[in-house]
Structure 1
Amino acid sequence: MDRFMRVIAFLVLVILTIATINLSSCNGDVVCINSEKQALLCFKREFKDPSNKLSSWDVEDDCCKWAGVVCDKLNGHVIELYLQNPNSTTPVVGKVHQSSVLDGKIDPSLVNLTCLNYLDLSQNDFGGIHIPRFIESLANLHYLSYPGQDLEERSPTSSEPVNLNDLLSLNLHQNGFEGPLPGSLWNMTNLRDLDLSKNNFNSIIPFSLYSCSHLESLNLGHNQFQGAISSNVGNLTSVTILDLSYNKLEGRIPMSMGNLCNLRVINLSSNKLVVQVLDVLKSLSGCILESLETLGLWENKLFGHFTERLGQFKNLRELYFQNNLISGPIPMSLGKLSSIVVLDLSYNKLNGTLPKSLGHLSKLGILYISYNMLEGVVSENHFANLTSLVELLASVNQLSFDASPNWIPPFQLELVYLRSWQLGPQFPIFGYSHRSIF
């Protein structure tokens, strides 16, 4: 009996302790650790803050309430630091808005933030210095977004690259980097997320990059990468997002890409891919068919005809093939794209009639087919189950519309462009209650 009572007493004590911790957290009683507060103040003293975005650092006593600082709610340790320039959007690669930039040097006092796992200093101006050596001492750091001009990550006092092997995410977006990618990147074998977009890299994509088998997101978009996509891309077995858009890539899409079973988003738009669209569909016919949700290939030089293979992407939600040289009819298998939400086939050379299977796409919200050579009659059957349709852009084709006077469309359009259609003599009823008609 005494043993039973002791167990009950112990359980009550545990429950009371947990409740006390939760109540303390909810009441905001946990404050930052003084040594970490002093470290942040030392860090702040080393740079100018013209926009006063860190003014709360001088007012609030509790550093967990400071702008850009996130603390652990249980122990008060600083775990995240968001000091990116909030006004960094600019059309000029590598340039930042000086009115809100932090300007100065990075003080090594940051090493006292022993639990820091997220550090974002992007789009500021620290004099173009390399990633400082002391960053290695932040043992829990998993995310780093850093402004710089040299991707070799060398310490200013050493020729050896800074060891960032424990990083899970590295964001060096829009930093004005040029030339080839350095070999030191591929030592970061734990990387899950790599963003090097909007720079000026102008080499081929190194084969060694494809050995980073843990990568889940790879963004090399808006650079000047050249050459072909290697078949070694098939080694990126964990990747879910692959963005190689706005480069100068040539050649074909390797068959190995179709074996990336976790890949949900592919963006290869605005490159120099000269390939038959049928070959594209063949390359993406492996297990990727079960995972792929977004496929972007606009502004390339895809040519040839679609085939019934177009209908193989049963889980595809967004398909962008605009601004290519694709010809021939739109196949009936279009109606098998049962998950499609956005479909853009505009600015091609498609001809023939619009397939009635289009009317099966109940999730389709945006349909762009303007500037093709489609012809024939579009009837209410083409729209039978398009209950989600909000935008229809189909101008500059040779299409006419024929529906009964009593037809009630199943959708409510917000935007419709039908320039050059034969719509008369009776104006189609779906035009009356919608916002923009052209």
Structure 2
Amino acid sequence: MKNVLTYACMILMLTSSFMVNAQLPSKEKQYLLDFNKSTHGEQWQNKWNLQEDPSTWYGVEIKDGHVTALKLYRNNLKGSIPDGISILSELKTLNLAFNTIDGELPEDIFLLATLTSLKLEMNKLKGSLPQDYSKMTNLEELSMFNNLLQGEIPNGIGDISNLKTLNLSSNYLEGSLPKSIEKLHKLERLELFGNKLAGAIEVDLGRLVNLKELILSYNQFQGDLPSSMATLSNLEFVQLQGNDFRSLNSLLRLQSSKLAVFDSDDEFLNMKFGANEANRTRLVDTKYEDTKRN
């Protein structure tokens, strides 16, 4: 009887697995095939055997008959991301970081309502960011540093209500910091290093109560730093150098006791917060290491 039950369980598991894979909608599979072709799949480091089931393809995760993750980090992807990605309606993770993908972002990539992590850093993406992010209420991580993105940071980015990480460093973004960013109450990391952002910061930074990292260095910001920044008690990494701030005096009242790195053009503040060569071990450009492959 025990052997019969064991055999029955094995059959059930195999059948369930087959059903999950068999139920992958043809439109989702076709998009994966289009994606493979558009990004030169024959040159990938880890190639797909297109004759096998999509569940066996490197970096593809399928659950309940739908693609839920596409993780092709550092896999020698070239070419562009084809339009139509929103057909992957259950996609939660899209990680195409550290490749050489070029072209513009597909218009429908920001219609993926289930997406929690979007990592496109260290590619050659160009064009501007979309205006509408109202569908992306589940997104927690948006990382597109070190690309060729231009234009302004859209005001609509403040609609990503669950966002914890926003990293747009090392692009060619310009204009002012959109005031809507102050709506991102769950934000922990705001990294905008090395763009062409300018003007006074009108954002009420004090509303970003969970902020741990604020990296605005090497832009063209001017005026006084918002006084509300002094109330941010969770700050650990602050980099403000390479701007044209008129005054950073509000930071004299900074309430955070967790600072590990503080860099600015104000030597008095650097000394006050202990910024020196010994603890400047995490400059923004050293954070682009491939330590996370989610």
TM-score by length of 1: 0.50
Structure 2 CA distance for aligned equivalents of residues 300 and 378 of structure 1: 24
Residues 168 and 334 (structure 1), Cα distance of their counterparts in 2 relative to 1, 3 Å cut: same
Q: 2:222 aligns with which of 312, 327, 350?
A: 327
Kept in 1: contact 2:261–2:279 (CA 8 A)? no
Alignment of 1:311 onto 2:194: no
Residue 116 of structure 1, CA deviation: 10
Partner of 1:392: 275
* Matched AA of 1:135: D
Structure 2 CA distance for aligned equivalents of residues 198 and 337 of structure 1: 32
1:179-200 Cα deviation digits (max 9, x unpaired): 2212354322111101111222
Instruction: Give SS of 2:179's match.
Output: helix
Alignment of 1:145 onto 2:42: no
Residue 254 of structure 1, CA deviation: 1.4
Structure 1 CA distance for aligned equivalents of residues 178 and 233 of structure 2: 17
Q: 2:242 aligns with which of 347, 358, 371?
A: 347
Partner of 1:285: 182
Q: 1:248 aligns with which of 119, 127, 148?
A: 148
- How many residues in Structure 1 have an aligned counterpart in Structure 2? 250
* Matched AA of 1:217: S
Q: Which protein has greater RCO, CA pairs closer than 8 Å, 6+ apart?
A: 2
Stretch moving more, 250-259 or 290-299: 250-259
Residue 269 of structure 1, CA deviation: 0.6
Aligned sequence identity (%) = 25
Structure 1 CA distance for aligned equivalents of residues 114 and 108 of structure 2: 13
Kept in 2: contact 1:165–1:189 (CA 8 A)? no
Residue 76 of structure 1, CA deviation: 9.4
Partner of 1:296: 191
Q: 1:135 aligns with which of 44, 53, 60?
A: 53
Instruction: Give SS of 2:109's match.
Output: helix
Structure 1 CA distance for aligned equivalents of residues 280 and 70 of structure 2: 42
Partner of 1:415: 279
Instruction: Give SS of 2:94's match.
Output: strand
Residue 210 of structure 1, CA deviation: 1.5
Structure 2 CA distance for aligned equivalents of residues 126 and 216 of structure 1: 25
Residue 211 of structure 1, CA deviation: 1.7
Instruction: Give SS of 1:232's match.
Output: coil
Partner of 1:217: 117
Matches within 5 A, 1:14-163: 129-136=47-54, 138=55, 144-145=58-59
* Matched AA of 1:315: N
* Matched AA of 1:367: F
Instruction: Give SS of 1:273's match.
Output: strand
Structure 1 CA distance for aligned equivalents of residues 187 and 47 of structure 2: 40
Kept in 2: contact 1:168–1:191 (CA 8 A)? yes
1:17-56 Cα deviation digits (max 9, x unpaired): xxxxxxxxxxxxxxxx9xxxxxxxxxxxxxxxxxxxxxxx
Structure 2 CA distance for aligned equivalents of residues 282 and 234 of structure 1: 16
Instruction: Give SS of 1:170's match.
Output: strand
1:181-234 Cα deviation digits (max 9, x unpaired): 123543221111011112222211111111211111011111111111111333
Residues 131 and 171 (structure 1), Cα distance of their counterparts in 2 relative to 1, 3 Å cut: farther
* Matched AA of 2:133: V
Kept in 2: contact 1:200–1:223 (CA 8 A)? yes
Kept in 1: contact 2:46–2:58 (CA 8 A)? no
Partner of 1:91: none
Residue 415 of structure 1, CA deviation: 3.2
Kept in 1: contact 2:229–2:251 (CA 8 A)? no
Instruction: Give SS of 1:304's match.
Output: strand
Residue 115 of structure 1, CA deviation: 11
Instruction: Give SS of 1:334's match.
Output: helix
* Matched AA of 2:50: P
1:325-354 Cα deviation digits (max 9, x unpaired): 223333432212122111111222234353
Partner of 1:203: 103
1:78-117 Cα deviation digits (max 9, x unpaired): x9xxxxxxxxxxxxxxxxxxxxxxxxxxxxxxx9x86999
Residue 285 of structure 1, CA deviation: 2.8
Partner of 1:170: 70
1:151-202 Cα deviation digits (max 9, x unpaired): xxxxxxxxxxxxx962211111122222221235432211110111122222
